[in-house]
């Protein structure tokens, strides 16, 4: 088996690129004259983040370098990058607060499940529903960023309480948000079901602190 160094390096790059995305987003909103260049940089960073998400798993499988740490690191890097997107898009007024809460509750819940199962000797990698959810996270963030980019290039501020756009745009965003939220909840239920089947004998006894 090959060492998983390259795959894990690709995964870890998202921990660097995610704060760069947030910082660039802030610069676009606050630095006059940086809008065009900043938007280009945002799209480059988003592209690199999503490309790393595709390549890390492919590299690990191609070189037979799938590791337990990679199974944990990859979904955690996904959480960091996608939450970064949605926090930025929340302050831009295009992603609602309820959606961010669904994402956060789901992701923290799955992280907790992974930690418990890892302690039990199970390295829980991404499930089918989780992978589909991740793709819809990326799709929703990308479409929202398209709308923010268009508005910004037309001279509208980046940071707004609620972004007003054409009716068709609102419909697109509502549909994407609802489908993505449903997939997020559904994938959590899949992980939770797996957890119930593989929990240890003392998980159900409970301990008070």
CATH number of the domain that 14 lies in? 1.20.120
Residue 163: partners with Cβ closer than 8 Å, 6 or more residues away: 92, 93, 94, 147, 148, 151
Task: Identify whether 178 is part of a domain.
Answer: yes
Burial class (CB in 10 A: 0-12, 13-18, 19+), 154: exposed
Looking at the structure of the chain, the number of domains it has is 1
Residues 123-146: pLDDT tens digits? Answer: 666 667 778 888 999 999 999 999
Q: Which residue has the tokens 């390295």?
A: 123
Task: Identify whether 17 is part of a domain.
Answer: yes
Task: Identify whether 142 is part of a domain.
Answer: yes
Is residue 41 within 8 Å of 107, Cβ to Cβ?
no
Task: Identify whether 205 is part of a domain.
Answer: no
Task: Identify whether 159 is part of a domain.
Answer: yes
Residues 50-105: pLDDT tens digits? Answer: 999 888 877 877 767 666 677 778 888 988 999 999 999 999 999 999 999 999 99
Residues 22-57: pLDDT tens digits? Answer: 999 999 999 999 999 999 999 999 999 999 988 887
Task: Identify whether 206 is part of a domain.
Answer: no
> Tokens at residue 116, please?
């418990």
Range of the domain at 23: 5-198
Task: Identify whether 209 is part of a domain.
Answer: no
Please choose, from the candidates 82, 69, 84, the residue with its C-alpha nearest in 3D space to the C-alpha of residue 114: 69
Task: Identify whether 207 is part of a domain.
Answer: no
Residue 126: partners with Cβ closer than 8 Å, 6 or more residues away: 71, 74, 75, 134
């Amino acid at each position: 088996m090959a060492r998983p160094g390259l795959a894990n390096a690709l995964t870890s790059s998202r921990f660097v690129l995610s704060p760069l995305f947030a910082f660039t987003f802030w610069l676009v909103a606050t630095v006059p004259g940086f809008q065009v260049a900043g938007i280009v940089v945002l799209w480059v960073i988003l592209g690199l983040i999503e490309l790393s998400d595709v390549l890390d798993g492919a590299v690990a499988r191609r070189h037979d370098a799938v590791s337990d740490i990679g199974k944990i690191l990859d979904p955690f890097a996904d959480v960091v990058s996608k939450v970064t997107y949605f926090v930025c898009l929340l302050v831009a007024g295009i992603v609602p607060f309820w959606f961010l809460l669904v994402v956060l509750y789901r992701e923290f819940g799955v992280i907790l499940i992974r930690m418990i199962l890892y302690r039990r000797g199970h390295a829980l990698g991404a499930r089918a529903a989780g992978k589909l959810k991740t793709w819809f996270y990326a799709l929703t963030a990308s479409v929202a960023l398209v709308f923010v980019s268009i508005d910004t290039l037309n001279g509208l501020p980046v940071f707004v309480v609620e972004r007003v756009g054409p009716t068709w745009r609102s419909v697109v965003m509502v549909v994407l948000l609802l489908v993505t939220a449903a997939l997020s909840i559904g994938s959590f239920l899949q992980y939770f079901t797996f957890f119930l089947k593989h929990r240890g004998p003392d998980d159900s006894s409970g301990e008070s602190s």
